[in-house]
Amino acid sequence: MAGAEARPVASVSDVGKTYGSGAAAVRALNHVSLEIRAGELVLLEGPSGSGKTTLLSVLGCILKPTSGSVKIAGREVSGLPEHRLPEVRLRHVGFVFQFFNLLPALTARENVQIPLDLKGVAAGEAKRKAAELLKAMGLGSKLDALPGALSGGEKQRVAIVRAIASEPDLLLADEPTAALDSSSGRGVMELLRECRRQQGRAVVAVSHDPRLREFADRIVRLEDGRLA
């Protein structure tokens, strides 16, 4: 469990994000400040359109905020030019999405190898590590399965293993259980909770489902782009 003294993995300070401009402008985030500490699983709640995906995208350096500051692993990233962000993401952030986003023509193991290949890990080592990670997460019998042959819960667990393969400090999951039945959803949350303990990682998961609250170390709520 994260103590107040735990290392901050990511933080946003007074962040604002506006999409578009003029009459069409949408203020998606308004003066949002949040610190994510090593070892914690933060559940991000809020109604549809409240800015959850936008906040996750800013935390994960997919989206630059309009104002405010973003720090990942102690490094200020909001001032970095757009072309530097992929490198920050690759080193520090893993993503999990509602619809898994596995590559359908690749096996479970090959999907997990992708971030390792991108990081420049040698092919043989990447293959070995992908298998080891999948086995550790209870997916040892699925190494050579294509995503189409996996259940929804298994797909999401493979997607989580892929997201942590490059050992990110921060794992971000946008409604990871929304496409799953409640028992697979719980399995996915258990795996996410497992992930937060490893290597001082932190997990931020968006969910609408109040039944998942028990998995959280902390719950934060967005309403109209502001932390409630």
Residues that bind ligand ADP (CB under 6 A): 19-20, 26, 28, 46, 48-54
125 vs 223 by CB, closer to ligand ADP: 223
Spatial separation of the C-alpha atoms in residues 182 and 173, rounded to whole Å: 17
**50 is a contact residue toward Mg ion (CB under 5 A):** no
Contact partner, 115, from ligand ADP, Mg ion, none, Cβ < 5-8 Å per class: none
146 vs 179 by CB, closer to ligand ADP: 179
Q: Pick from 11, 53, 113, 184 the residue near Mg ion by CB under 5 A.
A: 53
61 vs 126 by CB, closer to Mg ion: 61
In the Cβ-directed half-sphere of 19, how many Cα atoms lie within 13 Å?
A: 11
Print burial letters for 64-84: b (CB count within 10 Å at least 16), e (below 16): bbeebebbbbeeebbeeeeee
Contact partner, 20, from Mg ion, ligand ADP, none, Cβ < 5-8 Å per class: ligand ADP
Closest separation in Å from C-beta 53 to Mg ion: 3
56 vs 160 by CB, closer to Mg ion: 56
* Nearest in space to 120 (alpha carbons), one of 108, 129, 133: 129
Contact partner, 49, from ligand ADP, Mg ion, none, Cβ < 5-8 Å per class: ligand ADP
Spatial separation of the C-alpha atoms in residues 170 and 89, rounded to whole Å: 9
Spatial separation of the C-alpha atoms in residues 40 and 204, rounded to whole Å: 8
52 vs 186 by CB, closer to Mg ion: 52
Closest separation in Å from C-beta 172 to Mg ion: 12
Spatial separation of the C-alpha atoms in residues 134 and 43, rounded to whole Å: 25
Spatial separation of the C-alpha atoms in residues 59 and 64, rounded to whole Å: 9
Helices and strands in the chain: count of H runs, count of E runs:
6, 10
Contact partner, 39, from Mg ion, ligand ADP, none, Cβ < 5-8 Å per class: none
Which residues lie near Mg ion (CB under 5 A)?
Answer: 52-53
